[in-house]
Structure 1
Amino acid sequence: MTVTDEKVLTRFTTEALVSAGARRDDAELTAEVLVSADLAGVDSHGVARLRRYVEGLLRGTISGTARPEIVREQGGVTVVDAHNGLGQPALCFALDLAVERAAEHGVSAVAVRRSNHIGIAGWYAERAARAGAFALVTTNATPQVAPTGAAEPMFGTDPVSYAVPTSGEPICYDAATSIVPRGKLERLHREGRPMRAGWAVGPDGESATDIPKVVEGLKAREGYALLPVGGLGEEFGGHKGSGIGLLAELLCGPLTGASWSRHTYGGQGGDLGQFVLCVDLRALGDPAAITGRVGVMADEIRGARRADAEVPVRLPGDRRRRSAAERRAHGIPLLPPVLADLAEIAALTGLEPIGPGPAGTAPVAPAGASA
């Protein structure tokens, strides 16, 4: 396994995107979001996704020159058209706009249409929390999840994230509405680990556990489907997870003017939808008092009697922050399949590949790369 430095990986990701046709400011932001996922231990949404972006830019199915545009405004509600650009710059534009509008109106909502993959939703929610707002962020995705009672995928894995400021670090929840995201299956396969029964079903509606078959079946839309949080049927609450997935689909599809997951990608490129809701804490009271109360609540929860003396009670975001601190100190591990993908990206874009060793190597931009 190769271990690389955060700065090396960020530079490589930035230069790869620039070489593929993205503007440098968009490439830098996208690289920051991707590498933040690797730092946080969410490897399924880190640079393992970079090849998808680079190939899309090179093929022209993702626009490297698009700028998000406000197309509708009324009060604290805004609609943004991403024009099939990279998802990270589009959603960051929407998030910052939502924070600004919430400061003016107390609460705001920003919907994004014609967007692409955004990386980890929690990055955006936490950005809002650090700016003094409560935020909820969600996005749809390609269809991979079978709603309760369905025998085919209709919903995306549709992450829902929320974050709230505290007197310390923000509390930030970020999770897919499927029992497991496809990216985790890919990561388990790279690590040589199995998936569990009840996470996915095959075309026959029975539990499927062969990761390559499930992943390829999902990509090819051959009847394989992941299951919503709670799993198959209603016995363990699968219908509740299905209902939360439907909420994300509504906010990011029909209500937004984007396509819902079953129709997200077509001949015109990406049409993912995203939705941001922000509440400025000043509309609720004194921000210092509110964050103080939230901080006390967080301390009480973490101090609860443990079910297992060796396992701490944690709040959303705790594990990601511990991982980021460790990986900043010791480097980001890159599994061989990810390193192979990065080598292919280097070949496509004319960069020097990230090499083996404790800190990798810094990429060199090819002559004539855009700035």
Structure 2
Amino acid sequence: MRIPYAEMRAEFTRILLKNNFSEERAENCAEIFATNSLEGIYSHGVYRFSRFVDYVRKGFVIPDAEPEKHSGVGAIEQWNGNLGPGPLNAEFCTRQAMKLASDNGIGCVAIANTNHWMRGGTYGWQAARKGYVFIGWTNTERNMPAWGAKESRLGNNPMVFAVPFGTEAIVLDFAMTQFSYGKIEALKTEGKELPFAGGFNKNNELTNRPDEILETMRGLPIGYWKGAGLSLLLDILATILSAGLSTSELSKREKEHGVSQVFIAIDLKKLKNYPSIESTISAIIDDFKASSTITDGAQIRYPGERVITTRNENLKHGIPVEKLTWEMIQQM
């Protein structure tokens, strides 16, 4: 079934208001979930919403908690998220990083004790549309093994890069596992297998079955040992820059909450070559898209390009969602 964007956003707002969100915070949070769904990131939109509300009800997410600044020097600041809603804390940190970048050319905001930001690309889009380069990442609980290890001791620590591109943006939003766990859970809900191996089963074999990966919580690192190494460094940096919890410490909790995140913005207008940046990016993308395709009729897309197509399609026809999932949301 397909649900109009406005209806989905209104339904999310209604539920958040019932769960102690102020009107403004409910509307902002609902808009993030609905927009994630509109743009095709259903795993961190409509399919994640029920779990988000469950975490609110269990006290892992505190609806009215706002970030507090702990320290700052030059273009870097450390904040405490106070276990507030991850998407709202992430929006705040993105704005603060852009403010620092406007003053200094670059700004870095690291936040401890926050919650899942849902779709990290959301904040890349927000910054890039305002003319900023964006780099951000978060640590997570353990869900990925070091290369050659039997048990998971690394997080899949999603990372985002974004640059302005015309009226839109080029946005690379990726977890350190071949597939995000949100995507794996969404495919399980839809009764589908992964298109490629995405993790290990209990027999230490690579598998493309979502249920087997969710059973072991051993996702396949991107680039094998390279992805595992990158995950480790992202966890170290998020932890020390925010003075927050590491993946190891987060994994001792009943549920993942209180994560550490980093938000970096660069104000391109401060650069001497700013007048030529747009044409430079366009030339790079033109060359990239001139690639010959293996399959006739296939398209070469830059990161984030598919989002634009999906957004327009879902605005026109409605957001696709499993009927049972939507009925459960309506009953909340």
Q: TM-score, normalised by structure 2?
A: 0.93
Partner amino acid, structure 1, of 2:173: D
2:280 corresponds, among 279, 293, 307, to: 293
State the structure with bigger RCO (CA 8 A, min sep 6), 1 or 2. 1
1:258 corresponds, among 220, 225, 244, to: 244
1:227 maps onto 2:227 in alignment: no
1:333 maps onto 2:320 in alignment: yes
Q: Distance in 1 between matches of 2:221 and 2:235?
A: 13
Between stretches 111-120 and 301-310, larger displacement belongs to 301-310
Match of 1:358 in 2: none
Post-superposition offset of 1:106: 0.9
The SS at the match of 2:134 is strand
Identity of counterpart residues, as a percentage?
A: 25
Q: Distance in 2 between matches of 1:27 and 1:155?
A: 33
CA contact (8 A) 2:200 2:212 kept: no
Post-superposition offset of 1:309: 3.0
CA contact (8 A) 1:166 1:292 kept: no
CA contact (8 A) 1:147 1:227 kept: no
Q: Deviations over 1:301-356 (max 9, x none)?
A: 22333333311111000111111110001100111342243134x2xxxxxxxxxx
CA, structure 1 residues 80+178, in 2 after alignment: closer, same or farther (shift >3 Å)? same
Post-superposition offset of 1:201: 1.5
Partner amino acid, structure 2, of 1:32: E
Post-superposition offset of 1:58: 1.8
The SS at the match of 2:265 is strand
Partner amino acid, structure 2, of 1:285: K
Q: Distance in 2 between matches of 1:195 and 1:333?
A: 19
Aligned counterparts, 1:1-371, within 5 A: 2-195=1-194, 198-215=197-214, 217=215, 223-230=216-223, 238-264=224-250, 266=253, 270-344=257-331, 346=332
Post-superposition offset of 1:149: 2.2
CA contact (8 A) 2:47 2:186 kept: no
| Superposition CA RMSD, Å | 2.0
Post-superposition offset of 1:204: 4.1
Post-superposition offset of 1:207: 2.9
Post-superposition offset of 1:53: 1.7
CA contact (8 A) 1:156 1:261 kept: yes
CA contact (8 A) 1:83 1:115 kept: yes
Q: Distance in 1 between matches of 2:56 and 2:166?
A: 41
Partner amino acid, structure 1, of 2:298: V
Partner amino acid, structure 2, of 1:170: A
Aligned residues: 331
Q: Deviations over 1:78-128 (max 9, x none)?
A: 111110010011111111000010111111111011011111111101111
Partner amino acid, structure 2, of 1:145: M
CA contact (8 A) 2:140 2:256 kept: no
Q: Distance in 2 between matches of 1:336 and 1:158?
A: 31
Q: Distance in 1 between matches of 2:265 and 2:17?
A: 32
Q: Deviations over 1:120-166 (max 9, x none)?
A: 11110111111211110111222111121221112222211111112
Between stretches 268-277 and 175-184, larger displacement belongs to 268-277
Q: Deviations over 1:247-284 (max 9, x none)?
A: 32123223321212232263798211111111111232
CA contact (8 A) 1:197 1:207 kept: no
Q: Distance in 2 between matches of 1:308 and 1:35?
A: 34
The SS at the match of 2:171 is strand
Q: Distance in 2 between matches of 1:307 and 1:269?
A: 41
Partner amino acid, structure 1, of 2:245: S
CA contact (8 A) 1:99 1:131 kept: no
Q: Distance in 1 between matches of 2:26 and 2:149?
A: 39
Between stretches 27-36 and 73-82, larger displacement belongs to 27-36
Partner amino acid, structure 1, of 2:323: P
CA contact (8 A) 1:146 1:154 kept: yes
CA, structure 1 residues 8+288, in 2 after alignment: closer, same or farther (shift >3 Å)? farther
Structure 1's unaligned 5+ residue stretches are 218-222, 231-237, 347-371
Q: Distance in 1 between matches of 2:288 and 2:213?
A: 38
Q: Distance in 2 between matches of 1:213 and 1:118?
A: 26
Post-superposition offset of 1:213: 4.3
Q: Distance in 2 between matches of 1:271 and 1:29?
A: 21
Q: Distance in 1 between matches of 2:243 and 2:5?
A: 37
The SS at the match of 1:73 is strand
The SS at the match of 2:242 is coil
Q: TM-score, normalised by structure 1?
A: 0.84
Partner amino acid, structure 2, of 1:34: F
CA contact (8 A) 1:167 1:294 kept: no
